[in-house]
């Protein structure tokens, strides 16, 4: 599959910061990671990407749209959240989450994450026309929470005892959101921070070669 070996290298370079996010470890793990992502994409549950540095065309991580929510089409009751009306591969969501993001250790702190988020937010609000983008982080993950807050997202609160973390502990989860009417202000905030040349291409989908 396309990007499998590169994702395995990126995920295995420095695993010290991967306590909160599933990251492939080795080629077999990367192949399974991609297969699961593509299965979820085919079902309309997510849209996964590989992150590629423009400096050396190196795959340095992954991110995705997930928790896709579709409000258009006939109103049904009880509602069936996350199910598109029509072909899942072409359906346009009304709300989505950006998450499952991880970046190789030597690419952290370079602004690549900010630029990747900007490209995805711009696509979500300006191409899809979504009403809301959600982001979340393990409440213990200070690095991710600071990064999300610096984008201009609003913290909606902490959901206590929300789920089990990768370490097996029951975790609290911090939820953030950006609404469509807030996007112009958030866009200006991010664009002010992106004063250096692009370091990441538009995220590349994890389609098989």
Per the CB < 8 A criterion, the answer to whether 37 and 155 are in contact is no
Cα distances (angstroms) measured from residue 51 to each of 78, 88, 117, 181: 38, 23, 11, 28
Give the Cα separation of 64 and 134 in Å (integer): 12
Per the CB < 8 A criterion, the answer to whether 104 and 187 are in contact is no
pLDDT at position 12, please?
Answer: 83
Give the Cα separation of 103 and 14 in Å (integer): 10
pLDDT at position 84, please?
Answer: 61
Cα distances (angstroms) measured from residue 195 to each of 134, 189, 191, 201: 25, 11, 7, 16
Stretch 132-141: mean pLDDT = 95
Give the Cα separation of 187 and 180 in Å (integer): 11
CATH code for position 174: 3.40.630.30
More confident residue, 193 or 202: 193
| Among the ranges given (3-7, 82-86, 91-95, 203-207), the one the predictor scored with the smallest mean pLDDT | 203-207
Handedness of CA 20, 23, 25, 29 (dihedral sign): positive
Give the Cα separation of 134 and 100 in Å (integer): 12
pLDDT at position 208, please?
Answer: 39
Please tell me which of 9-13, 73-77, 175-179 the model is most confident about, judged by mean pLDDT: 175-179
pLDDT at position 101, please?
Answer: 93
Q: State the DSSP string of 30-61.
A: HHHHHHHHHHHHHTTSEEEEEEEBTTT--EEE
Q: Of the candidates 121, 167, 157, which has an alpha carbon nearest to the alpha carbon of residue 21? A: 167
Stretch 115-127: mean pLDDT = 95
Whether 121 shows a pLDDT value over 90: the answer reads yes
Q: Helix, strand, coil shares of the chain as percentages rounded to 5? A: 35, 30, 40
pLDDT at position 209, please?
Answer: 33
Please count the structural domains in the chain. Answer: 1
What integer best gives the mean pLDDT of the chain? 86
Host domain of residue 139? 4-205
Cα distances (angstroms) measured from residue 176 to each of 42, 131, 136, 152: 27, 14, 6, 10
């Amino acid at each position: 599959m396309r990007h499998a070996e590169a994702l395995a290298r990126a995920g295995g370079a420095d695993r010290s910061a991967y306590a909160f996010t599933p990251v492939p470890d080795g080629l077999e793990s990367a192949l399974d990671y991609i297969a699961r992502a593509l299965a979820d994409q085919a079902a309309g549950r997510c849209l996964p990407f590989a992150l590629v540095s423009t400096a050396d065309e190196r795959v340095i991580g992954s991110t995705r749209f997930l928790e896709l929510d579709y409000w258009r089409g006939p109103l049904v009751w009880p509602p069936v959240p996350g199910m598109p009306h029509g072909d899942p591969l072409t359906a346009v969501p009304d709300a989505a989450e950006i998450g499952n993001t991880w970046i190789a250790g030597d690419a952290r702190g370079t602004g690549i994450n900010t630029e990747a988020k900007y490209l995805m937010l711009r696509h979500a609000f300006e191409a899809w026309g979504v009403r809301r983008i959600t982001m979340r982080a393990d409440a213990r993950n200070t690095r991710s929470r600071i990064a999300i807050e610096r984008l201009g997202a609003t913290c909606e609160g902490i959901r206590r005892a929300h789920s089990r973390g990768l370490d097996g502990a029951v975790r609290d989860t911090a939820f953030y959101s950006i609404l469509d009417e807030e996007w112009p202000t958030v866009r200006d905030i991010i664009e002010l921070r992106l004063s250096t040349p692009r370091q990441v291409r538009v995220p590349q989908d994890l389609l098989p070669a």
